[in-house]
Chains A and B, each alone.
Chain A
Amino acid sequence: MIAPVYGKRGQSAVHRFDPRGKIVLLVVFLITFFLPLRIEHLGIHLAVVAALTVIFLGIRNVLRPLRLILPILILVLVLTPPFHREGPVLFSIRSVPILTVFGLLEALRLIVRFTGITLIFYLFMGTTDPDSLALAFRWFRLPFAISMVLSIALEYIPTIRRIYNQVRDAHRLRLAGETGEAQRAPRAGRDRGKVHRLAETIPILTSVLILSVRRIPTLAMALECRGVGRKNRRSSFRSLKTGASMTRDGIITALITATVVVSLLLFP
């Protein structure tokens, strides 16, 4: 379930691009989208990002995040113009301006920005696997403890999810058997059902939390008996590639950043 978001098995140039470079570029593009640029300029950035996503992740994968944010975009389109009614009027009811050029532009700007941010994140997440990401963070001097918390949390999410499903099943089986009550008025039971469901959730969550919390000392034991807490410096078995490909990716990153900066200066 995490797999579709993380492009573990992808082999394209972007997939194999150094994650450190990708992090830098992510930040660069993010900043760009937040700057007060002309709409055309923003649009070009968006187009570039969209193109990259289509090329390296496929058209179907572009539609997915777009579909998720469509409701928000519509909301923005509808709600923003009424609050920005300066400028040339495009549409009015009985001489009350409803829609102005300025309002439309503002809405478009927000839409482009949000879509751009969405796609850039999606592209980033879809082409980087968690292990490389963790290594990149370590290279940027993220403390060992924090990166361990991140990696282990990611590993434990499916576990907790499984616990939740099992607990839900177990509670359901145990509490089934209000014999006779289920036969009575199933239709009237619908509202009752919601309150019932809420009341049922607390016991389920209690069991889930107890089971989860019990694992804390056990996991701590597992960590300590494999050496977490030692005073000596840890070595590192896996590391990001150095040498030729790092240099190449570093240069590409610098070039792209430079291009963006130059374009910002030329077309404010």
Chain B
Amino acid sequence: MNEEKGRSRIPGSPAFRISSLAILTAVTAVFTYMVRIPIAPTRGYLNLGDVAIYFTAFTFGPVSALIAGGVGTALADIISGYSQWAPISLLVHGLQGLVAGLIASIAWRGKRGTFSLFWLVAAVAGTVVMCAGYLAAGTLMVGFSAALVELPGNLLQNLAGVVGAVPLTIAVRKAYPPVTELRW
């Protein structure tokens, strides 16, 4: 059956890919800028963007997570008035999504609600990419010491990202099984 292969029954049409990327990007953007808890005085707020990125990585794969993660967070930055960070978000969160998606897709299972340990590995890798990326970029923008201040916040955010994304991915698959066929 189609589900076991994990391949979409919808042909790889450009319209489908555009649609999928656009909506996932919008979801990531909304998760990033809408649900925020201010913690650090820098640009920091705990946002659920990482939840969306990991969800996309686990459910849709590396390409989707790359674009949705990068463009989504960049758009969120622009909307909230931090457009100077947009190019950096594009790169860092894009890479985060890509890496997490690649690792998660190693153990792709189409069955309902199956949890894979690879998701945790993927999330750890994503965290490393994101934190290192922001540290490097932050150093360029505001200097190493100020960038370092953001690090704990970023770690916390990624932790929230994983803690949120895992049950969320399972819940969505159980409540809406056809989601596995939207992967490409």
- A residues near B (Cβ < 8 Å) are 1-2, 5, 34, 64-65, 68, 71-72, 75-76, 79-80, 82-83, 106-107, 110, 113-114, 117-118, 120-122, 124-125, 145, 148-150, 152-154, 156-157, 159-161, 164, 201-203, 205-206, 208-210, 212-217, 219-221, 223-224, 228-229
**Residue in B closest to A74 when the chains form the complex, CB atoms:** B41
A82 to B34 CA separation, bound complex (whole angstroms):
36
Given contacts A149-B67, A161-B34, contact A213 B164 (CB under 8 A): no
Quick check: B18 and A209 within 8 Å, CB to CB?
no
CB distance from B179 to the nearest CB of A (A): 5
A78 to B164 CA separation, bound complex (whole angstroms):
35
CB distance from B90 to the nearest CB of A (A): 11
**Choice from B15, B42, B145 contacting A80 with Cβ under 8 Å:** B145
Given contacts A220-B10, A229-B13, contact A148 B142 (CB under 8 A): no
Q: How many A-B residue pairs have CB under 8 A?
A: 172
Given contacts A153-B72, A216-B23, contact A79 B145 (CB under 8 A): yes
Q: Which residues from B are CB-within-8-Å of A223? A: 15, 18-19
* Sampled A-B contacts (16; CB under 8 Å): A5-B78, A68-B81, A75-B41, A80-B145, A83-B145, A125-B83, A153-B23, A160-B23, A202-B168, A203-B171, A210-B179, A219-B22, A219-B23, A223-B18, A224-B13, A228-B18
Q: Which residues from A are CB-within-8-Å of B75? A: 153-154, 157
Quick check: B171 and A202 within 8 Å, CB to CB?
yes
Quick check: A153 and B22 within 8 Å, CB to CB?
yes
Q: Which residues from A are CB-within-8-Å of B15? A: 220-221, 223-224, 228-229
Given contacts A148-B18, A210-B172, contact A157 B30 (CB under 8 A): yes
**Residue in B closest to A120 when the chains form the complex, CB atoms:** B84
Quick check: A217 and B10 within 8 Å, CB to CB?
yes
Tell yes or no: B55 within 8 A of A by CB: yes
**Choice from A5, A114, A203 contacting B142 with Cβ under 8 Å:** A114
**Choice from A2, A110, A145, A221 contacting B14 with Cβ under 8 Å:** A145
**Choice from A71, A118, A201, A212 contacting B42 with Cβ under 8 Å:** A71
A156 to B19 CA separation, bound complex (whole angstroms):
11
Quick check: A157 and B23 within 8 Å, CB to CB?
no
**Residue in B closest to A75 when the chains form the complex, CB atoms:** B146
A205 to B55 CA separation, bound complex (whole angstroms):
11
Q: Which residues from B are CB-within-8-Å of A206? A: 168, 171-172, 175
Q: Which residues from A are CB-within-8-Å of B29? A: 153, 157, 160
Quick check: A72 and B167 within 8 Å, CB to CB?
no
Known: A79-B143, A80-B145, A153-B23. 17 other contacts (CB 8 A): A5-B78, A80-B143, A83-B144, A149-B18, A152-B18, A153-B22, A157-B79, A160-B27, A161-B30, A206-B168, A208-B27, A209-B172, A213-B176, A217-B182, A219-B23, A220-B15, A228-B18
